[in-house]
Structure 1
Amino acid sequence: MKYWISVLAGAMSYGILSTIVVLSYGEGYQLGEIVGAQLLVGFIFSWLTAIYTKRKELREKRKQSISFDAATTYHRLTWKQRILLMLAGTPTVVTGLLYYQSLQYIPASLAIILLFQFTWISSVIHAVSNRQRPNKIMLLTLFVLFIGTLLAAGLNGQAAANINRMGLIFGLLSAVSYSMFLLFSGKAVPSAHPAYRSAWMVTGGFILLIVLFPPHFLFNGMLGGPLLIYGLLLGLFGAFIPPLLFAIGIPHIGEAMGGILGAAELPVAVLLSSIVLHESVGMVQWFGVALILVGVTLPEMYKIGKRKRGYYQNSRSLQAKN
């Protein structure tokens, strides 16, 4: 249960980001500055957590009379593992850049709907990688998600014509990138301690961002203003808390369940967009959000029901034999 709660809390943290980003755009900050401040804070907090974890492990090992040399090799990662983790962390930056860019063109409530297409994109990637044809439950899920997306986004004919195409493209690409993050975050060195996994993944993302957007804000005095506050909020809820909680939970519950619990991001983002940003979110849109949540849970609920039916059939067979 604690691993489920971990992934759920991480997804809810992601739901806060779009509102904070829109507010920071309102202050006049640019994409590179916003994401840069976010990852800088996440980088610092992640490595402070990793250092604290390392020292705690050393103290525990010393109490157990293990030599200092042996203790220092405890949970030590090879450079190959570190590079794998850094590569696994790059989709978080790509997702952030694409998602935040979409917020410059379309409302936050629509941007999160587009990002949430990762639910079916993840399923398609999983099916293709395992060379599986979509079964009936998957086709039903895709249909429910499609209808839910149309309703939640308010895409009637007139509204669809007024939506910025660049915003749509960036939003959908962010969904693809987020799907890759969920895939890699669960498979990249799952045996390593979550604190170390998170720190190296954030490091990889931070390096990529520095290459794409040189951090001029570190030297021009911008961090002395509201950018620091936005960076702290985005860093905590975007670059530090979710990767750490996902690193804790996803290796134990799997990518499929991780994608389902990630659904918590959607209602949080839409609710905050309505309350804080005063975006119009009607009952039809909320019904669409509910349909998307139903669609996300359908595959796992089907698996649970199938396992229960198999359990009952086995029980009856044993009783009949006795």
Structure 2
Amino acid sequence: MQLLKYSIMVLIGSISYGTLSTMMKFGFKDGHSSGDLVGSQYLIGWLIVAVLFLFSFKYKIPWKNAGLLAITGMMSAFVGKAYAVAVAELPASIAVVFLFQFTWIGVLIESIINKRRPDRSKVLAICLLFIGTLFAGAIFGQPLSALSLTGVLFGLLSALLFALYMFCNSKFAVEEPSMKRLFFIATGAMLTAVFTTNPVTLATNLVETNLWQFGLLLGTLGVVVPFFFFAVSMPKVGVGLGTILCAAELPSAMVVSVIFLGEGVTSLQWFGMFLIIVGIALPEYLKYLLKKTHTKKKPLHEKRVS
């Protein structure tokens, strides 16, 4: 039951991430650059976290743990940077397919770290997620000429960084309170996002334009909500299951784009989204069936023993 609770938390964080692409598109229409939008997202998100949890915990923390959590946040910011390059070089439907390779990369990382093969339920889930992503991303029928080497490399880099972010979140400084983890992860992400863009231009645009409005939305749904739920739940579910659950981001992004942008979705894309949802639910469902089977067998076993 505890694992289910933490799995739902990961899902909430993933669904929150799925809203970002639509908000970014509105920001682009208003003339804001990707650097300013990402910078405002992490800066304002960090400010919200700092204000909300100002008196929630003591900020004293070992330097090692602070550094590890900051690295976790840096990974998150670099995902956004790498994915922005991929989207600029590739059709969005193909770029998202490369990003979502983080699902099997995350399971592979867990397998290497734990020195054991992933169980069958995870392998089957990964297969469903991979096929579902191909359909949902409308990659079939795309000309090979659309694939630039730069776009492919940065798309795969964003996938690797996202898987590493999941790994760091599940392993680094897990003994620290969740609120403290959230603050230092957000701090690392904010510093990375701000100082890899032009801080002066970012500050000017926040004051003189409506960039702060996008920053408020992006910061809430792209930092506060997912960082909080991941900080609490990722150490509990682990990087393998965590990356599978994070695949909920793609169906979320599709639904939000249909509602707010009026984008068309083909029947094959809806089928792909269905496969993704099945792939996400499969590991938990198989565990439930296994537990139910053991529960039914246990009384018979005890009876025979007696």
Question: Normalising by the residue count of structure 1, what TM-score does the alignment of the two structures yield?
Answer: 0.83
Deviation at 1:150, TM superposition (A): 2.2
Gaps of 5+ in 1: 55-73
The one-letter code matched in structure 1 to 2:268 is V
Look up the match of 2:196. Answer: 212
Deviation at 1:5, TM superposition (A): 4.1
Look up the match of 1:11. Answer: 14
Whether 2:271 is the aligned partner of 1:287: answer yes
Distance, in Å, in 2 between the alignment partners of 1:319 and 1:38 is 60
Whether 2:32 is the aligned partner of 1:29: answer yes
Distance, in Å, in 1 between the alignment partners of 2:22 and 2:89 is 14
**1:269 maps to which of 247, 253, 271:** 253
- Trace 1:156-167 onto structure 2 (pairs within 5 A): 156=140, 158-161=141-144, 163-165=146-148, 166-167=150-151
CA contact (8 A) 1:183 1:255 kept: yes
Distance, in Å, in 2 between the alignment partners of 1:122 and 1:304 is 23
CA contact (8 A) 1:20 1:230 kept: yes
Q: Secondary structure at the match of 1:155?
A: coil
Cα deviations by residue, 1:151-186 (Å, 9 ceiling, x for unpaired): 222222x32435443444433322221111111112
Name which of structure 1's ranges 142-151 and 118-127 shifts more when overlaid on structure 2: 142-151
The one-letter code matched in structure 2 to 1:224 is E
Q: Secondary structure at the match of 1:159?
A: coil
Deviation at 1:303, TM superposition (A): 3.3
Distance, in Å, in 2 between the alignment partners of 1:127 and 1:86 is 25
Whether 2:114 is the aligned partner of 1:130: answer yes
Compared CA separation, residues 207 and 78, structure 1 to 2 (3 A):
same
Compared CA separation, residues 219 and 47, structure 1 to 2 (3 A):
closer
Name which of structure 1's ranges 250-259 and 188-197 shifts more when overlaid on structure 2: 250-259
- Trace 1:203-282 onto structure 2 (pairs within 5 A): 203-282=187-266
Look up the match of 1:60. Answer: none
Gaps of 5+ in 2: none
Look up the match of 2:301. Answer: 317
Look up the match of 2:137. Answer: 153
Deviation at 1:202, TM superposition (A): 1.2
CA contact (8 A) 1:99 1:171 kept: yes
Distance, in Å, in 2 between the alignment partners of 1:77 and 1:218 is 30
Name which of structure 1's ranges 184-193 and 142-151 shifts more when overlaid on structure 2: 142-151
CA contact (8 A) 2:70 2:189 kept: yes
CA contact (8 A) 1:49 1:195 kept: no
Compared CA separation, residues 101 and 11, structure 1 to 2 (3 A):
same
Look up the match of 1:47. Answer: 50
CA contact (8 A) 1:75 1:192 kept: no
Look up the match of 1:118. Answer: 102
Look up the match of 1:188. Answer: 172
Deviation at 1:121, TM superposition (A): 1.7
Whether 2:280 is the aligned partner of 1:302: answer no
Q: Which has the larger radius of gyration?
A: 1
Compared CA separation, residues 176 and 160, structure 1 to 2 (3 A):
farther
Look up the match of 1:200. Answer: 184
Look up the match of 1:58. Answer: none
Q: Secondary structure at the match of 1:103?
A: helix
Q: Secondary structure at the match of 2:263?
A: coil
Cα deviations by residue, 1:248-298 (Å, 9 ceiling, x for unpaired): 223344444433443332221011223333333111111011112222333
Distance, in Å, in 1 between the alignment partners of 2:143 and 2:258 is 20
The one-letter code matched in structure 1 to 2:296 is Y
Q: Secondary structure at the match of 1:191?
A: coil
Look up the match of 2:63. Answer: 79
Q: Secondary structure at the match of 2:25?
A: helix
Deviation at 1:4, TM superposition (A): 4.2
Deviation at 1:22, TM superposition (A): 1.9
Deviation at 1:218, TM superposition (A): 3.9
Compared CA separation, residues 155 and 112, structure 1 to 2 (3 A):
closer
Q: Secondary structure at the match of 2:286?
A: helix
Q: How many residues align?
A: 302
CA contact (8 A) 1:81 1:189 kept: yes
The one-letter code matched in structure 1 to 2:68 is L
The one-letter code matched in structure 1 to 2:142 is A
CA contact (8 A) 2:94 2:139 kept: no
CA contact (8 A) 1:257 1:300 kept: no
The one-letter code matched in structure 2 to 1:161 is L
Q: Percentage identity across aligned positions?
A: 33
**1:144 maps to which of 106, 112, 128:** 128
